[in-house]
Amino acid sequence: VDEFDLIDRLIAPLATAPGAQGLGNDGATIAPGPGCELVITKDMMAEDVHFLADDPPDLIARKLLRVNLSDLAAMGARPLGYLLGLSSDGRRDETWFRAFCKGLQQDQEQFDVSLLGGDTIASPKGVLTLSLTAFGEVPVGHSLSRSAVQPDDLVAVTGTIGDAALGLRAIRGELAELDESKRMFLSDRYRLPQPRTVLGPALVGLAHAALDVSDGLIADAGHLASRSRLAVNLDWTRIPLSDAGRTALNRDSGLKSVVLGGGDDYELLFTFAPANLDQVEAVAFECGVTVTVIGTCAIGAGAHVFAPDGQEIGLQEDGWRHKS
Amino acid sequence: VDEFDLIDRLIAPLATAPGAQGLGNDGATIAPGPGCELVITKDMMAEDVHFLADDPPDLIARKLLRVNLSDLAAMGARPLGYLLGLSSDGRRDETWFRAFCKGLQQDQEQFDVSLLGGDTIASPKGVLTLSLTAFGEVPVGHSLSRSAVQPDDLVAVTGTIGDAALGLRAIRGELAELDESKRMFLSDRYRLPQPRTVLGPALVGLAHAALDVSDGLIADAGHLASRSRLAVNLDWTRIPLSDAGRTALNRDSGLKSVVLGGGDDYELLFTFAPANLDQVEAVAFECGVTVTVIGTCAIGAGAHVFAPDGQEIGLQEDGWRHKS
């Protein structure tokens, strides 16, 4: 009971939206703005799978929120709020929960969202398991979809690719040949994704299809291809890499499969008509997000990555399965 | 991976609403009807806390959905759909998941809701942990609240009270003095709540305040009292009991505290102006739900239960804490 009261006390100040009703009712209320509908998404995270027991609690909280905000962005939705589910094994103290809630508060301010409600349960035989449902709004019927790729579309991606998967290796003690600042950069990219919450909504009406890169670039390009029944062809040399990522790759070309197959980047992968290229670049500039055209779509099937010599690059390992 | 594919395959047919987008995108879309807003609620359930490993999987699924639908009903919202989160420890086979999904399907038909999306994760060191977010609609600004009790309101409750808590005792092998049919009735009431999804929305504009009885009658009446800053006074003799509940109580008057303090009934407890009594009874009749007036509200504080001699009945044990 003490732990519940503690969590309640720490969580209450996060419920800033009127619809949260001070967390005093059986549920919350939410309505999309005029001409809009809601986009809803739910991602779970469990200890020892999605985070480790000694990870900083504020980063666990912020990653949980951000992976959901990234799903909203991929659908073109502006974030509004979220419900939090927390199943506790009772092995954490007040300091831990205080840091966890501080992380949520920090990101609530950054992304202008409010806690709306949720549930806390005790599960002594389980592990800490988190569930978050995020709510956003998008003009009715205009949410971005994986199945709306058009033949001849250009394919673009935000930010840089592969950092998160390389960061996970750095956290595990690999990539020791990189200097510490590069390893830190990569591990931060794994621990704290940057959901493209401003660009996503700005792509509504401009992009044809979109998703966020959570399963890995090849796997996610494959989702676009299979859902749209077209081929997505990417140029290896155009895939944007960070300095740290490029350095790692220069030292070990075998990491190519990590870059192409690793997940958790939470960048947007989207397609649009070539005629809209200038506008896409202008919108990306306004949003302060780097966008790189990395390929084209065509009649056909599957996602393919080509080397400069025109040879297709095969993946040495599959992107890990990671639902999002 | 096999388990994920299995779950995906079994869950896919449940996503019947267009907004679920065939579970093919990063999220789903939902919009309240004209003049309405959404009510959202999230309840979690974990093995060994809210259900046991050998409980029938279809009943686990249906209870998970129904406790959430009950929250919607308590807010006066008509149910629309839900997101499902499932954290699996990998110890269940296809038969189990098939039965689980069949339970969901059965209740989807009964309550006219659709799966909209969700997330499945593997958590080998955890226990099966379920999270469900339910969505309903209510006329804008008219959701029922715990804080809207008026002095002189009548207090009413649906169905019968105490069955679930007695049922949990029956499941644990207690109440052996009851015949098997009564023990079965009570344990069914624990395992499969009957959310008042038709009456709840019908009470909008008619009831002042409402919640569902999940923490126990006294505790939940206390929630109405504290949130509304009034007193809620109940007559013990008017509290509706089932035949089985009355029989158990006649044999052991000590079970009174179980009836008053035990939770999980998922009946609606609501208040309304005395002038509306006839209309409340007519609406309840139309909805096929028994409604019993069990008390009155007044200037004051707290929830109180009185015996026929006017003495207040104290609880011998607290209602267990059970977030909902």
Longest dimension (CA), chain A: 65
Q: CB–CB of A116/A81 below 8 Å?
A: yes
Cβ-based contacts of B39 with chain A (< 8 Å): 27-29
Report d(CA B164, CA B170) in Å as an integer.
10
Q: Provide the shortest C-alpha distance from residue B1 to chain A (in Å).
A: 7
List the single residue in A with minimal CA-CA distance to B43. Answer: A119
Nearest by CB to residue A31, choosing from B32, B43, B116, is B32
Q: What are phi and psi of A47, to 5 degrees?
A: -60, 145
Q: What is the pLDDT along chain A (324 residues), one digit of tens a residue?
A: 578 888 889 999 999 999 999 999 999 999 999 999 999 999 999 999 999 899 999 999 999 999 999 999 999 999 999 999 999 999 999 999 999 999 999 999 999 999 999 999 999 999 999 999 999 999 999 999 999 999 999 999 999 999 999 999 999 999 999 999 999 999 999 999 999 999 999 999 999 999 999 999 999 999 999 999 999 999 999 999 999 999 999 999 999 999 999 989 999 999 999 999 999 999 999 999 999 999 999 999 999 999 999 999 876 444 433 333
Q: CB–CB of B277/B213 below 8 Å?
A: no
Q: What is the total residue count of chain B?
A: 324
Closest to A200 in 3D by CA, of B119, B26, B133:
B26
| A172 in contact with chain B, both atoms CB, cutoff 8 A | no
Q: H or E element: which one contains B30?
A: strand B28-30
| B85 in contact with chain A, both atoms CB, cutoff 8 A | yes
Which of B21, B29, B45 is the mutation pick for testing A, counting most A CBs within 10 A?
Answer: B29
| A224 in contact with chain B, both atoms CB, cutoff 8 A | no
Report d(CA B135, CA A28) in Å as an integer.
10
Contact A27 B49 (CB under 8 A): no
Q: CB–CB of B28/B84 below 8 Å?
A: no
Q: Which residues 6+ apart lie within 8 Å of B181 measured at CB?
A: none
Report d(CA B218, CA B239) in Å as an integer.
11
Cβ-based contacts of A122 with chain B (< 8 Å): 49
Cβ-based contacts of B212 with chain A (< 8 Å): 26
Asked if the model's pLDDT at residue B195 lies above 70, the reply is yes
Q: How many CB atoms lie within 10 A of CB B70?
A: 29
Nearest by CB to residue A21, choosing from B123, B136, B145, is B145
Question: Across residues B271-285, what is the average pLDDT?
Answer: 98
Q: Provide the shortest C-alpha distance from residue A26 to chain B (in Å).
A: 5
Q: Which residues 6+ apart lie within 8 Å of A73 measured at CB?
A: A79, A195, A196, A197, A199, A200, A201, A212, A268
pLDDT in tens, A7-43: 889 999 999 999 999 999 999 999 999 999 999 999 9
Contact A227 B24 (CB under 8 A): yes
The strand pair at B36-46 and B78-88 is best described as: unpaired
pLDDT in tens, B121-176: 999 999 999 999 999 999 999 999 999 999 999 999 999 999 999 999 999 999 99
- Give A167-171's long-range contacts (Cβ < 8 A, gap of 24+): A167/A191, A168/A262, A168/A264, A169/A258
Nearest by CB to residue A83, choosing from B24, B29, B42, is B42
List the single residue in B with minimal CA-CA distance to A47. Answer: B123
Tell me, yes or no, if the pTM score tops 0.90.
Answer: yes
Give, in degrees to the nearest 5, the angle at Cα B27 between A224 and B122: 90
CA–chain centroid gap for A259, Å, is 16
| A48 in contact with chain B, both atoms CB, cutoff 8 A | yes
| A31 in contact with chain B, both atoms CB, cutoff 8 A | yes
Q: What is the total residue count of chain A?
A: 324
Q: Provide the shortest C-alpha distance from residue A35 to chain B (in Å).
A: 10
Cβ-based contacts of B37 with chain A (< 8 Å): 19, 29-31
Contact B85 A85 (CB under 8 A): yes
Sheet holding B268-272, edge to edge: B209-212, B268-272, B154-158, B291-298, B231-235, B302-306
Counting DSSP H helices and E strands in chain A, the numbers are: 10, 11
Name the burial class of residue B98, with classes exposed (0-12), middle (13-18) and buried (19+) by CB atoms within 10 angstroms of its CB: middle
Asked if the model's pLDDT at residue B316 lies above 70, the reply is no
The ipTM (two decimal places) reads 0.94
